[in-house]
Amino acid sequence: MKILVATNNRSKLLEMARLFNIEGLELVLPADLGLKDFDVEETGQSYYENAALKAAAFARASGMSALADDSGLEVDALNGEPGLYSKRYAGENATDAYRISYLLKKLENVTQENRTARFIALLALASPDGTIIEHEQGTCEGRIGFAPTGNNGFGYDPIFLPIVVADNHSMADLSNEGKDLISHRGNAARKLAPFLRKYIEES
């Protein structure tokens, strides 16, 4: 069964493919279906609302089931910012490197013990008619480092230090397999997997 991943981020598709290693499942990108320029404005007021908006819109546009993710980094010292606006926090067209620099600048006077943060991911699955049929949320607790480390991952991974990882390693220091075991998206995917497996079997 083919399921559309509602993103144009190929790194996220590869991560989803690892997380949902389910027999009979093939994940595809919008570009694979001629929907490269199709996009959805994230106007929701929660991770669920944004994920649901994307899943429903991409499902209706493609006529197939769609899986969408909305995720964010919440930093306690910044009252939960950047949160829902993690991707756009430093400007609409900012690079990952600039987003990281921008966030670190805001935290330059914050001590190590006060740099607590968490990644949150919400996964929503829509049927071909755009109905949201299941969703799950996952989190990963940690803190923000003082400088980026590691070459793996994407987004804010190089400055996020998960509390379950020793020696101040960032998410970007981990292997793909290591990240999947502890990440917010990994936790959400493990909750969603039983439903998705049954959905594929019944389809």
Residues acting as catalytic residues: 70
Residue 44 burial class via C-beta count within 10 angstroms: exposed 0-12, middle 13-18, buried 19 and up: middle
* CA 56/CA 131 separation, integer angstroms: 6
Cα 134 to its chain centre, rounded Å, is 17
Judging by DSSP bridges, how do beta strands 132-144 and 2-5 pair with one another?
Answer: unpaired
Report the candidate in 46, 45, 64, 66 with the shortest Cα–Cα distance to residue 54.
Answer: 66
* CA 192/CA 194 separation, integer angstroms: 6
Cα 112 to its chain centre, rounded Å, is 25
